[in-house]
């Protein structure tokens, strides 16, 4: 935060980058991207799924279910890891800092 206050060039570069990113997320651009997704990806994938056998559909749905479950487990594990790391930074002393008499903020 202090770097933004002190560094005018960094602040100007971030503002310019924000303006470029705003163009990417304009309503016209987002509408174009959604239209392309719905017509090119979603519709063709649905037609391929719909025209497949009942077993193909079941396998597809089971795979998707497993991917969703896997992502959920990964998210939980990452959240737990983040909590442990946060706890360690906050409450576990650092022997080197203790020896040097450095206090944590």
pLDDT per position as a tens digit, 8-64: 888 888 899 988 888 888 899 999 999 999 999 999 999 999 999 999 999 999 999
Q: Which residue has the higher pLDDT, 80 or 2?
A: 80
Whole-number CA gyration radius for the chain:
25
Residue 22's pLDDT is what? 87
C-alpha span between 73 and 61 (Å, rounded)? 18
The one-character DSSP state at 92 is S
User: What is the distance between the alpha carbons of residues 99 and 105, in angstroms, rounded to a whole number?
Assistant: 17
Instruction: Please state, in angstroms and rounded to a whole number, the distance separating the CA atoms of residues 74 and 80.
Output: 10
Displacement of CA 23 from its chain's centroid (Å): 21
Question: Is the pLDDT assigned to residue 102 strictly greater than 80?
Answer: no
What phi and psi, each to the nearest 5 degrees, are found at residue 92? -90, 125
Supply the pTM of this predicted model. Answer: 0.47
């Amino acid at each position: 935060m202090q770097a933004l206050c002190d560094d005018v060039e960094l602040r100007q570069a971030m503002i310019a980058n924000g303006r470029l990113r705003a163009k990417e997320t304009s309503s016209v651009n987002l509408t174009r991207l959604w239209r392309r997704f719905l017509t090119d990806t979603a519709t063709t994938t649905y037609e391929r799924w719909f025209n497949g056998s009942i077993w193909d559909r079941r396998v597809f749905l089971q795979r998707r279910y497993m991917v969703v479950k896997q992502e959920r487990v990964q998210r939980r594990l990452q959240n737990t890891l983040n909590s442990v790391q946060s706890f360690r930074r906050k409450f576990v002393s650092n022997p080197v800092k203790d020896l040097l008499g450095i206090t944590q903020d």
